[in-house]
Amino acid sequence: MAETTIVPWVSVKKGRGVEAVAFYERAFGAQRLLLIDNEKGVVARMAVGGAEFWLADEDVEHRNVSPESVHAVTTRLILMVSDPDALWERAVAEGAVPICPMKDDHGWRVGGVRDPFGHHWEMAREDKGGS
């Protein structure tokens, strides 16, 4: 049976794609796997460790809009990492806004931030045997 993965695609306000790529590289240590930047906007394939995601300038015609445009989020993204505290601190230092401080919660070490483009990210590690 083939491996199944879910790869999120996040949209950022039109014209902010290059800025978003640079933020994710600095804040999450993301690698740029592909970058298309043309008159239609930016599309990028990124990876944090082995976890891939895509991002693009919003495309209202195709109903791909950014959280900034709708003033809401419908999905939170969780980065499962070995040191969530360090990644949370790094993201905040790069301009992410804390929305939940790092804490131990139901067997998880977890905290959350809102990136400059409106997306909610959680940094987490499952602590086996935790409370």
The answer to whether residue 19 sits within a structural domain is yes
Q: Is residue 95 part of a domain?
A: yes
What DSSP designation does 118 have?
A: S
Place of tokens 């950022």: 12
What is the domain range of residue 23? 9-59+73-126
Binned at pLDDT 50, 70 and 90, residue 130 comes out as low
What are 12-61's pLDDT values in tens digits?
999 999 999 999 999 999 999 999 999 999 999 999 999 999 999 999 88
CATH number for the domain spanning 42: value is 3.10.180.10
Indicate the number of domains in the chain: 1
Mean predicted confidence (pLDDT) in 118-129: 91
Three-state secondary structure call for residue 131? coil
In a domain, 68, yes or no: no
Containing 17, the helix (H) or strand (E) segment is helix 17-28
Q: Is the pTM of this model over 0.85?
A: yes
Residue 16 forms part of a structural domain: yes
Look at residues 34, 53, 52 and name the one whose alpha carbon lies nearest to residue 44: 34
